Amino acid sequence: MIKDITIGQYFPGNSVIHRMDPRMKLVLTIVYIVIIFLCKNFWALGLMLLSLVVMCALSGVPAKVILKSIKPIAIIITFTAILNIFYVRTGEPLLDWHFIHITTGGVFTAVFMIIRICALVVASSLLTYTTSPTQITDGIERLFSPLKFMRGGVHTLAMMMTIALRFIPTLIDEFEKITNAQKARGADLETGNLVERAKALIPVLVPLFITSFRRAYELAFAMECRCYHGAEGRTRMKIMKYSKLDAFGFLFILFATGGVIALNMFFRHVV
Amino acid sequence: MSILKTDNLTYKYSVGTPFEVTALDSVSLEVEKGELVAVIGHTGSGKSTLIQHFNGLLKPTEGSVLVDGQDIWESKKTLREARFKVGLCFQYPEYQLFEETVFADIAFGPKNMKLPEEEIKERVLRAAEFTGVTKEMLEKSPFDLSGGEKRRVAIAGVMAMEPEILILDEPTSGLDPKGRDTILRLIRDYRDNTGSTVMIVSHSMEDVAKIATKVLVMNRATVMSYDTVPETYRHAEELLSVGLDVPQITKIFMELKRRGLPVRDDVYTVEQAVVEIDRLRKEGVRV
Amino acid sequence: MESILKFDDVYFSYDEETDETQGEVHWAVSALSLEVKRGDFIAVLGHNGSGKSTLAKLSNAILIPDKGEVTVKGISTKDEDRTLEIRKHVGMVFQNPDNQIVATVVEEDVAFGPENLGLEPAEIRERVDDALKAVGMYEFRENEPHNLSGGQKQRVAIAGILAMRPECIVLDESTAMLDPKGRREVLETVRKLHDEFGMAVVFITHYMDEAAMADRVIVMEQGKVLFDGAPCDVFQNVDELRRVGLDVPQATELALSLGLPGKILTLSECTDAIVDSLK
């Protein structure tokens, strides 16, 4: 059923990657992406790619599932690759035909870019595959909590995210129910051109919005009755604690960074 | 001829996945024209799935649904006809109101039927009168009405389509006793005045006893019984054994019978009970 | 017994202007006096618009009386600085189970209240586990709320209130949207909280069979108290209750129609009385 599709493509499991602290995972992902862009040659990039493969293997998420995350951005990748192939004019010429000039430099840059983008996407997907949306939200909130001036804002944002996640299945249910009710009144939602179809959705969307506002209003009441008063003086039941796993993760990325810097310096030539 | 018939109707959710559930298991049923059928059963007994088959919202996995002798899945045309022949009013129908005025909302169904303007107007006014929706209310926004009024407007919206079979899924849920009685009365009046067939899905045994002519009991995706009200309550033991409730009066009479009193076993209202106890007194029955 | 919640000649109106010199004021609740003591189990019965939900909202400072005073353990609900304290003492469960669950995991939702109170993590954990066990939802602690039945969701909502360890729990038509099984679950849970933990309960409903389970029934009509007493006494007023749009237990009605002696409320009382009358 449609409501069983979870947002953020979480892939439940109990691997070492799953068990890592969401805060650490967030930081590692960001650091990883930064380093990817600091890689200046294939050796450095290869090292990062290798560490990513290791992480993926550790996560226990099937390779097929991981590779699926690249699919939606295939067009962007292709486009970037083509641009690089045709417009980069360094290195040896490979093909000179009328206005098309392809050089070794162009091909190298294109391949480099493809790997970079794929690594970036796979790394962030690995985060969402191994961390539930709730954990990510919590992680963001707690990561920022030491910053006093930002705390209120981040808390509000995180609370909003949590409530949105909580209500998405409810609203999908509601949408199905109202759709059925209007269909029973003869509403035709399936035929006609785009404009007609959009118009036909009004009888579904209006009640959906109104119900959502009512829900929001009632939820606000219920939250107040449970002593909600923002971030001020609020504690959490689940404590996030960095474990040995997180230390390993940290060391792992530290070595990778060091490796990348070393490789960047050792193989001076760019690409 | 029966107005509504199902033949070995089977419906499965999520076919081919590990979550496959049989919601209806070869249900064969015939409903005569003009009956007021109460459908009872637990949440998950299949009663909601069943009624969504009658107007073609759900497609049978196996078996067929016949409205007025016509298999509704024969063609696109027959399916569209079934939508209008069988009016289905969902639970909490007030949450489907969306138009700017009550009038426009009641007119939504008839408009979808592509009826002429005049006819639409007539039907809206007729349905409004039936449900006690006043002239002033027709001009108002549906969102300015009280809960009970909204419910009546929503029911009017389905009645205005003047279906041959009107089906209401828990029309009284969430209402207070007064609101409940109003809705039940208007459903009974609608059937008495139009001669239409009506089905109501209900959890409340007392409601069922008040207005139904027939009771369809669903249990575990199958029809457990389909009979008149007194006959259904004669088998109160079986209803209780599958966790369904029976009216308090029926329970009292079950107990009296168990204690050896020669009482009838199809008593389910206070009036019937008084008559029966008076009979015992007159006949000088002693414990 | 110690008084927990007290209404003292309370008036409340939803009208903007409540100055009586300006003409007639429509009071949602008027001249309402009521006391809830530790260990009470009170049902408030009334049709929609009788003022029973207003009563609920007045009890934990969601609404503030226009006249008169509501006090929770001696604290007036007018004292804005102590609203949190009041809400900690008087917890409220609402009608729609979906609209009061905040988190995506059952146990995290139950923790929401105690977290707002700023308790220590270990203390919260203990309270959450206790609360979930008390409502029989402990095995479901890691489930997602949207996969639960209506009755289960409502029990989670009750646990969320319990975890704040209130002295009194107000249920505002919390069974109205449930099927018979869900209603039974909620009723049994509430009954258990009262019987085993001595929780004061105010159970607002329009189902007379639920009200009949309470120790005391208050019937509201037009913002005023119409009847206040033990269920068997209150339900003797069949005609009056019918007039204000309420039901009466069939057992009571039958007993009165047959002219049976005693104040009959339950099935077995009625059966016994019929048998006795035939001896």
Instruction: Report strand pairing: B165-169 vs B197-201.
Output: parallel
β-sheet bridge partners, residue B216:
B39, B226
Written as six digits, the tokens of A6 are 């979870």
Task: Report yes or no: B175 and B156 within 8 Å, Cβ to Cβ.
Answer: no
Confidence label for C19 from pLDDT (cuts 50, 70 and 90): low
Confidence label for A1 from pLDDT (cuts 50, 70 and 90): very low
Mean pLDDT for C29-40 is 93
Separation in Å, CA of C101 to nearest CA in chain A: 8
ipTM: 0.91
More confident residue, C140 or A37: C140
Residues B11 and B145 in one domain: no
- C87 with A224: Cβ contact below 8 A: yes
Contact C271/B at CB under 8 A: yes
Q: What is the pLDDT of residues A79-123, one digit of tens each?
A: 888 888 888 777 777 777 777 778 888 888 888 889 999 999 999
Q: How many domains does chain B have?
A: 3
Residues of C within 8 A of B255 (CB-CB) are: 267-268, 271
Residues of B within 8 A of A186 (CB-CB) are: 83-84, 108-109, 112-113, 161
Average pLDDT, chain A: 86
pLDDT, position C129: 97
From B87, which residue of chain A is nearest by alpha-carbon distance? A184
- B113 with A180: Cβ contact below 8 A: no
Distance (Å, whole) CA B251 – CA C250: 11
Whether residue A5 is predicted with pLDDT greater than 70 in this model: the reply is no
Residues B75 and B185 in one domain: yes
In-domain check, residue B265: yes
User: Among partner residues A178, A187, A202, which is closest to B95 by beta-carbon distance?
Assistant: A178
Confidence label for A25 from pLDDT (cuts 50, 70 and 90): very high
Q: What is the pLDDT of residues C153-183, one digit of tens each?
A: 999 999 999 999 999 999 999 999 999 899 9
Q: What is the pLDDT of residues B256-267, one digit of tens each?
A: 999 989 999 889
Separation in Å, CA of C62 to nearest CA in chain A: 8
Q: What is the DSSP letter of B245?
A: -
Task: Report yes or no: B248 and B209 within 8 Å, Cβ to Cβ.
Answer: no
Distance (Å, whole) CA B154 – CA A203: 13
Mean pLDDT for A41-54 is 90
pLDDT, position C24: 75
Mean pLDDT for C51-59 is 94
Distance (Å, whole) CA A126 – CA A29: 9
Q: What is the pLDDT of residues B57-116, one digit of tens each?
A: 999 999 999 999 999 999 999 999 999 999 999 999 999 999 999 999 999 999 999 999
In-domain check, residue B126: yes
Name the nearest CA neighbour of B109 among A187, A120, A25.
A187
Name the nearest CA neighbour of C159 among C181, C178, C140.
C140
Distance (Å, whole) CA B147 – CA C230: 31
Separation in Å, CA of C234 to nearest CA in chain B: 17
Burial of C113 (0-12, 13-18, 19+ CB in 10 A): buried
Residues of C within 8 A of A222 (CB-CB) are: 92, 94, 99-100, 102, 157
Q: What is the pLDDT of residues A162-198, one digit of tens each?
A: 899 899 889 999 999 999 999 999 998 877 788 888 8
From chain C residues 88-107, the ones with a CB under 8 A of any chain A CB are 88, 91-92, 94, 96, 98-105, 107
Written as six digits, the tokens of B41 are 């059963």
- C250 with B280: Cβ contact below 8 A: no
SS3 state of residue A238: coil
Q: What is the pLDDT of residues B186-204, one digit of tens each?
A: 999 999 999 999 999 998 8
Task: State what percent of residues in chain C have pLDDT above 90.
Answer: 84
pLDDT, position A7: 44
Distance (Å, whole) CA A36 – CA A260: 9
Residues of C within 8 A of B147 (CB-CB) are: 48
Separation in Å, CA of A209 to nearest CA in chain B: 10
pLDDT, position A188: 85
Distance (Å, whole) CA B88 – CA B49: 12
Task: Report yes or no: B233 and B268 within 8 Å, Cβ to Cβ.
Answer: yes
In-domain check, residue B201: yes
Q: Structural domain of residue B255, as residue ranges?
A: 247-287
Among B160, B177, B194, give the residue marking a domain's end.
Answer: B160
More confident residue, A61 or C138: C138
- B255 with C48: Cβ contact below 8 A: no
Q: Which of B13-27, B188-202, C8-22 has the lowest mean pLDDT?
A: C8-22
Class of domain C3-248: alpha beta
Whether residue C48 is predicted with pLDDT greater than 50 in this model: the reply is yes
Whether residue A3 is predicted with pLDDT greater than 50 in this model: the reply is no
Residues of A within 8 A of B153 (CB-CB) are: none
Mean pLDDT for C52-70 is 94
Residues B57 and B113 in one domain: no
Separation in Å, CA of A212 to nearest CA in chain C: 10
DSSP string, C172-240: ESTTTTS-HHHHHHHHHHHHHHHHHH--EEEEEES-HHHHTTSSEEEEEETTEEEEEE-HHHHTT-HHH
Q: Which of A265-269, B138-142, B283-287 has the lowest mean pLDDT?
A: A265-269
Residues B73 and B153 in one domain: no
Mean pLDDT for C26-42 is 93
Q: What is the pLDDT of residues C226-257, one digit of tens each?
A: 999 999 999 999 999 999 999 999 999 999 99
Listed by start position, the domains of chain A span 2-139+241-266, 157-225
pTM exceeds cut of 0.80: yes
Residues B85 and B194 in one domain: yes
Distance (Å, whole) CA C70 – CA C86: 11
Confidence label for A12 from pLDDT (cuts 50, 70 and 90): confident
β-sheet bridge partners, residue B223:
B218
User: Among partner residues A183, A188, A206, which is closest to B98 by beta-carbon distance?
Assistant: A206
Whether residue B18 is predicted with pLDDT greater than 90 in this model: the reply is no
Residues of B within 8 A of C271 (CB-CB) are: 252, 255-256, 259
Mean pLDDT for C127-145 is 95
Among B132, B160, B188, give the residue marking a domain's end.
Answer: B160
Residues B27 and B114 in one domain: no
Task: Report yes or no: A233 and A155 within 8 Å, Cβ to Cβ.
Answer: no
Contact C149/A at CB under 8 A: no
Q: What is the pLDDT of residues A199-248, one digit of tens each?
A: 889 999 999 999 999 999 999 999 999 999 988 888 899 888 888 889 98
Mean pLDDT for C194-219 is 93
From chain B residues 66-85, the ones with a CB under 8 A of any chain A CB are 83-84
Whether residue A4 is predicted with pLDDT greater than 70 in this model: the reply is no
From chain B residues 142-161, the ones with a CB under 8 A of any chain A CB are 143, 157-158, 161
Whether residue C149 is predicted with pLDDT greater than 90 in this model: the reply is yes
Whether residue C217 is predicted with pLDDT greater than 90 in this model: the reply is yes
Listed by start position, the domains of chain C span 3-248
The Cα-based distances of A135 to A21, A142, B36, B91, B104 in angstroms read: 9, 10, 53, 36, 47
Written as six digits, the tokens of B74 are 């024969």
Q: How many beta-carbon pairs under 8 angstroms link A with C?
A: 98
Confidence label for A6 from pLDDT (cuts 50, 70 and 90): very low
Residues of C within 8 A of B281 (CB-CB) are: 277-278
Cα-based torsion angle of the residue sequence B99, B100, B102, B107 in order, rounded to the nearest 10 degrees: -50
Whether residue A59 is predicted with pLDDT greater than 80 in this model: the reply is yes
pLDDT, position C51: 92
pLDDT, position C17: 65
In this complex, the chains that touch C, judged by 3 or more CB pairs closer than 8 A, are: A, B
Residues B13 and B84 in one domain: yes
In-domain check, residue B276: yes
Contact A170/B at CB under 8 A: no
Number of residues assigned to chain A: 271
Confidence label for B286 from pLDDT (cuts 50, 70 and 90): confident
Whether residue B287 is predicted with pLDDT greater than 80 in this model: the reply is no
Q: How many beta-carbon pairs under 8 angstroms link A with B?
A: 54
Contact B286/C at CB under 8 A: yes
- Chosen from B67, B96, B99, B124 to mutate, greatest number of chain A CBs within 10 A: B96
Confidence label for A39 from pLDDT (cuts 50, 70 and 90): confident
End-to-end CA distance of chain B: 49
- C98 with A225: Cβ contact below 8 A: no
Residues B8 and B40 in one domain: yes
